[in-house]
Amino acid sequence: MITTLTMNPCVDHTVSIRDFRIGETNRVSQTRRDVGGKGINVSAALHQMGLPTRCLCLGHSDGVVRAHLAEAGIPFELVEVPGTTRVNLKIFDEDSSVMTECNERGAALTPSALESVRCAVTGCLSDSRFLTINGSVPPGVPETFYRDLILRARKAGVPVLLDAGGAMLRRGAEAGPLLIKPNRGELKEAFGISVSDIASAALACRDLAEEHDIGYIALSLGAEGALLVSRRGAWYTKGAEICVRGVQGAGDSMVAGFCQGFSKGETDGAALLRLAVAAADASLEKPGTQMCTAAEAAAMYGRLRVETLFLRD
């Protein structure tokens, strides 16, 4: 069982526009609404890949998340909190393939709600092979919250994959997760590491992994591809040549791809990166916040090439 945690679920309202212009009237060519949140997306991808998953998530009184997960057939456990599910506006420029995001913060959490989350996570650890902690947090969550959950999971023998930003990523990395997945902006914000070229980024990530006992650092580089670094090696792929129809959720599919690899017992960095980017690229070809299927990821896998940057004993 792979348990995913979503602290800040949402409804993604995605509109597609040709030649989006700020400050002008724009005509929408396509629109869709998807219930999501990073952990929900990871569970959706895992479910479509045929891997057992449980979505542990905050659920608001509007019932939106509960209805979505039940309809999708994804096993879930909700921590019920007051308020309504936040709505995020995503504006996708079809000409440039650039996504502009306007994300709500979400309703503030009380100390009792946070304790309920801690208890729910602890209760899920006994039958979890992996725990993924994904995304932003609403107001009221201390910056050490993810770190403390990772320490709790590690004590129970459950490896953690962390996909977050800012202080939640910086403090969470201190607990030595199996994997963190920043993009270049998150890497700079959390750790002060600027990406000037692939080689220097690989060395900086290796040093970061050694400093905090992190198993792997997966660095998303957007159109430039992705980099995977451990204390013993670094691997890079530019990704496949694809037609991008939506970027929301691609990073979550990447996390699912890593989970797939770890579940198989894969330890080769090149193979892990190839599985993860195959899932991400397959999702990029789908509009809105839609996750890839197992068949789509497998087809993409054969189109990827991975370069080994360095290996050491």
Residue-averaged pLDDT of the chain: 89
Reported confidence tier of residue 313, pLDDT bands at 50, 70, 90: low
CA distance 254 to 273: 9
Position 182 scores a pLDDT of: 95
Edge-to-edge strand ranges of the sheet holding 226-229? 76-81, 53-60, 2-6, 130-134, 160-163, 179-180, 216-220, 226-229, 233-237, 307-311
Region of residue 222 (phi > 0: left; psi between -120 and 50: alpha; otherwise: beta): left
Q: How many CB atoms lie within 10 A of CB 8?
A: 24
**What is the amino acid identity at position 164?**
A
Residue 160 has a pLDDT of: 98
pLDDT at 116: 94
Name the pTM for this structure: 0.87
Average pLDDT of 292-307?
77
Do residues 17 and 26 lie in contact, with contact meaning Cβ atoms separated by under 8 Å? yes
Mean pLDDT of 32-46: 89
Percent of the chain topping pLDDT 90: 54
Backbone conformation region of residue 300, classed left if phi is above 0, alpha if psi is from -120 to 50, else beta: alpha
- Read off the pLDDT of residues 229-272 as tens digits, 9 standing for 90 and up: 999 999 999 876 765 655 666 789 899 999 999 999 988 999 99
Res 286: pLDDT = 65
For each of the domains in the chain, give its residue range(s) and CATH number, in order of start: 2-20+27-311 (3.40.1190.20)
What's the pLDDT band for 122 if we cut at 50, 70, 90?
very high
